[in-house]
Structure 1
Amino acid sequence: MPRQVREASTKMGLRLLEIGAEVFPSAELELYRDLVTTGRAAGHQPLAFAVVARSLGVPLQEALAAYLFATATSLTQNAVRAIPLGQNAGQRVLRKAHDDVAAAVERVAHLTPDDFGAVIPGLEISQMRHERQRARMFMS
């Protein structure tokens, strides 16, 4: 992953752990937050989300669906501002995303550990190029 994406993910992960520990205190969250703050775990945002969900007893499929839909929502919000897409079109995109999220959750159920870490090289190359541009619309 490009440096910019890694750093953003760990900052968001730590913030999520801080909020989670305050709102939903648990021994699991405290332990993981301690590992992150002492540098023994990176604390990337998806992992922090998983620890929060697990500590709350959220079933895996529900946690995956919530995470994926939150990601779709975030990307749609960016598109509404950047394209501009428009609020109504953004809502239509999110409605359509429900079916895609359900399909993705189903697909994840059939993945193996060998699939962990699969990436889209073109996206990562674009992210690395973005990191070095003189002017950017959004900073990660």
Structure 2
Amino acid sequence: MLPLFAWLSPAFPVGAYAYSHALEWAVEAGDVADEASLQAFLADLLLIGFARSDAILLAHAHRAAAARDGAALKEANALAVALAPSAELRLETCQQGRSFLDAVAASWPTPGLDELAAVLKGEEVAYPVAVGLAAGLHGVALPPTLEAFLLAAAQTLVSAAVRLAPIGQTAGTRVVARLAPRLAALAGAIPALTLDEVGGATFRADLGSMRHETQYTRLFRS
């Protein structure tokens, strides 16, 4: 379990603080203005949006890594990159994915990592695939990896919301606490899902990420 605490910590050098996954646009547009609207927005993103799909992709990458199956890993990564709905969201997942993989290779080496990382050499690497690869090779069990990954996604977005100022730290903590049981339930359902079940229904956020590309003032890269 200890690697998860390190890898999903804000201190791990993946640059997560630079991205808001369209949340900055949602604040600008007035969709997110208080604690309740933030919770509703994040619930959609996490439970029927990108985080659900990312968790499925992570699970497949985890199994591929544990089996040393480079072809399956490559397939999951190609799908993850292709499904990014905008240029900014592709940058978000691929920049973090490559940074994560490089940081793990430099600081948490393990047998098989160089071999499987070579399968993705020269390619963009999606963040959930990189996390699944590292966890699978290090023998970190899939269920806690999924729970930790989803909770970290929620905390990252709440941190962005606090910096955007529609809520304070205490309100943000309440949002994470209320979402946590639903994220745990989602994590429990993920292992049974196939790659055919990757997909989401957060069209307004996806369009918002495109509009964010030309937003006049921006703190975040997505």
The two structures share one fold, judged by TM-score above 0.5? yes
The residue aligned with 1:71 is 153
TM-score by structure 1 length?
Answer: 0.86
- Residue aligned with 1:137, SS: coil
- The answer as to 2:111 corresponding to 1:24 is no
Indicate conservation of the 8 Å contact 1:9/1:45, yes or no.
yes
Shift of 1:83: 2.8
Indicate conservation of the 8 Å contact 1:69/1:98, yes or no.
yes
- Residue aligned with 1:57, SS: coil
After superposition, what is the alpha-carbon deviation per residue over 1:85-113, rounded to whole angstroms, capped at 9, x for unaligned? 11222222222232121111123244333
Structure 1 segment 38-77 matched on structure 2, within 5 A: 38-39=122-123, 42-77=124-159
Residue 94 of structure 1 is aligned with which of 166, 171, 176? 176
- The answer as to 2:103 corresponding to 1:12 is no
Indicate conservation of the 8 Å contact 1:28/1:55, yes or no.
yes
Greater Cα shift, 114-123 or 81-90: 114-123
- Residue aligned with 1:123, SS: helix
Aligned length: 138
Amino acid at match of 1:90: G
What is the percentage of aligned positions where both structures have the same residue? Answer: 30
Indicate conservation of the 8 Å contact 1:18/1:33, yes or no.
no
TM-score by structure 2 length?
Answer: 0.56
Greater Cα shift, 13-22 or 83-92: 83-92
Amino acid at match of 1:55: L
Shift of 1:119: 4.7
RMSD of aligned residue pairs (Cα, Å)? 1.9
Higher relative contact order (CA 8 A, sep 6+): 2
Q: What runs of 5+ residues in structure 1 fail to find an aligned partner?
A: none
